[in-house]
Structure 1
Amino acid sequence: MSRFPRIARAGAATLVAGVLLSVSLVNSAQADPYPIDGAPCSASQIGQKVWGFNGPTINLKPVVTDQIAINIAPGTTGTRTDTLTEVETVTRAVTNSVGVEVTASAEAGAIFAKVSASVKASYNYSVVTTGSKSTSHTTTMSWSFNQPGYYGLYRGVQEVSGLDSYTECQRYPYPSVPIGWKSHTLYFSAFTSPEEGTILCTGPATTLPDLFITKIRDLARKRLGDC
């Protein structure tokens, strides 16, 4: 009952409200029914946890974490090394339904393991497992430009966020239940390995709202602005 359910397959990527990519893991059939919140359990089951059968719900959102604009004039092409400006930071954490951080707990470790497997299987992204932030104040990039133009150097990640849930057999979960099952919801945020690159300003920037942009480079091009 307390072990993690085996992952059977990954659901197809879809658009949630036309905005965020989302996927859920579907677990294999279980011999025992999923415990209902508030239902009684036995003293021998205290501490046992059963994770939600549908697995974590995951949203992906592109985030430009660092960027700089560069104007390459005719006759000035060549290799440049620039320090990018920090634009946004994505943090890695898990909190419970009342806002208490549980990043160092076993529950957090279980969630990150499942999230990493889901994102890898569904999107072929790797979720970063070290460090709590997606960026730093000392990001530098070197690029060679062989044509004049207005460029942007960028660095970004896909923000991974969502929720997972489990029920645990506890003492006095509710006034009327001396030993019973209590539901817990955990909210998580993480991020994928960074993408670095250049973009060239070739015309008007997209007018799409940020929430409809799914690629980091497209978001960076919008941030660069009109030519």
Structure 2
Amino acid sequence: MAVTATAVTAVGLAASPAAAAPTAAPTITATPALGTTCTVADLGTRHPYIKTTEVAPTITHFKGWYVTQGSTGSQSVTTTTQTTITVSVGLENKIEGGFGSEALGKVGTALGMSVKVDFTSTNSESSTVAWNFGQPGYYGVYKGTKKVTGTYGSLNCNRVQQGNGSWALQWVEGPGSGAFTTYTTLEEGAVRCEDTVPASSIMAKAKLLLDCGAPAAKAEHPAGAVAPTAEQNQGLLAQHPAPVAGTAAEQPKATGSSAPAIAVALNCEPGAYRIDVPGKVLNWSAPLLANDGVRLRESTFFSAHLDNWRLCNVSETNGVLEATLWNWGNGGCATVPANIANQEQAYLTTANCAEDDLQRFYVYRDVPGSSKVGLQNKYTGSMVGYDRYGDGELIRQYSSGRQDGTGTFTMTGV
């Protein structure tokens, strides 16, 4: 493992190794908005804000159905899938609360409509439509919804220099963005060629799929299902693609175990840091065990630098640091494993340093003079924290961070 200890731009972190004094219960900002004030406890949290939205009426199930003079009345029609819409937020393949649910909740509020905020798809809905056909004719029996897509950004707490030269903590636009997909409650019905329907409605989309040819041609069909038209077949072939998951910072590259990374030389700061639980004696350390995770452990004489980290290949954009965290004890870099990167509460570990985005972290800092920080993985967009204060507790990623303040650490020089 080649590491070049070349000085880089100073990062403004405290150099004193003394532990921070115990702090009072954290105060978390209730309703963050861009440019408003945040607190030290918010350094380890993240919230969405909606950047763009698009609403499109979409037919999810359809069947052409011919009703003769003697077959009117109530009938149950089993439709076929036309388009599948799956709820997704960024790289999440399930919505378990946190960032994903908060983002979709803000979508519904912004549009003034009820949208799905949990992981589901339109194929989970029944495909049977019960309808009372009052008169003979050629019908398009359908189920449909309003598909809602768009993009979101990330609100993070970071220090911002004021016009008078002082510093304050504010909600800023964090790096990276992502995309979401959801839909409204399904609507069902039947429409005829003779019907006048509102433009841009779900019913209008169903009528477009209906083969409204000459009435004489329709009369040749017996009562019941009609073979799909070319337009309908085209819709069936164009099944809903996999959910768009935004930028590279929001989409994992692999779903299985990745090959060992090829070690690369890093441009690291000469100093090292401990990343501590604020006011506690436990430190962030990585035991020399194969495939083990980064854990909270007590720092001792025998830690062998496993609780010491260097900041490497440091850059700064709009006051937010980006760095690779190199462990002095085992020569590896902190990372989120590729095979679980899309999971909430995936644990951190160390691996051969490869300058992969899974090994890059944003560092959100308190005002100068304080060593409090929050950490965010560049690739997944999730914040770093821990579930329980205790020796050996794994360090994990949380899509919205830990709202009780346990995602705020103290980074002190050693």
Letter in structure 1 aligned against 2:127:
T
TM-score, normalised relative to structure 2: 0.36
**Matched residue, 1:201:** 193
The partner residue of 1:89 within 81, 84, 104 is: 84
Conserved in 2, the CA contact under 8 Å of 1:2 and 1:50? no
Task: Label 1:169 to 1:181 Cα distance change in 2 as closer, same or farther (>3 A).
Answer: farther
- TM-aligned CA deviation for residue 64 of structure 1: 0.2
The CA distance in 2 between the partners of 1:92 and 1:86, in whole Å, is 17
The CA distance in 1 between the partners of 2:178 and 2:123, in whole Å, is 24
1:11-45 residue CA offsets vs partner (Å, 9 max, x unmatched): xxxxxxxxxxxxxxxx8xx5459xxxxxxxx9876
| 1:183 and 2:175 are equivalent in the alignment | yes
**Matched residue, 2:46:** 49
Task: Label 1:198 to 1:50 Cα distance change in 2 as closer, same or farther (>3 A).
Answer: closer
Letter in structure 1 aligned against 2:71:
T
Which runs of structure 1 show a deviation greater than 2 angstroms over 4 or more consecutive aligned residues? 1-6, 30-33, 42-46, 48-52, 99-105, 128-131, 135-138, 167-170
1:132-189 residue CA offsets vs partner (Å, 9 max, x unmatched): 102347411111222111011110010011111114358xxxxxxxxx9841312110
Provide the alpha-carbon RMSD of the alignment: 3.3
Q: How does 1:1-227 map to 2 (within 5 A)?
A: 3-5=30-32, 30-32=35-37, 46-49=43-46, 51-52=48-49, 55-95=50-90, 103-104=95-96, 106-120=98-112, 125-136=113-124, 138-168=126-156, 182-202=174-194, 214-227=200-213
Conserved in 2, the CA contact under 8 Å of 1:2 and 1:49? no
* Aligned-pair identity (%): 24
- TM-aligned CA deviation for residue 71 of structure 1: 0.8
- Structure 1: unaligned runs, 5 residues or longer: 7-26, 34-41, 171-179, 204-212
- Structure 2: unaligned runs, 5 residues or longer: 1-27, 159-171, 214-414
The CA distance in 1 between the partners of 2:119 and 2:46, in whole Å, is 28
Task: Label 1:89 to 1:112 Cα distance change in 2 as closer, same or farther (>3 A).
Answer: same
Structure with greater contact order relative to length (CA < 8 Å, sep ≥ 6): 1
Task: Label 1:184 to 1:106 Cα distance change in 2 as closer, same or farther (>3 A).
Answer: farther
Letter in structure 2 aligned against 1:150:
Y
The CA distance in 2 between the partners of 1:82 and 1:32, in whole Å, is 56
Conserved in 2, the CA contact under 8 Å of 1:84 and 1:138? no
Provide the aligned length of Structure 1 versus Structure 2: 171
Query: For the pair shown, which has the larger CA radius of gyration, 1 or 2?
Result: 2
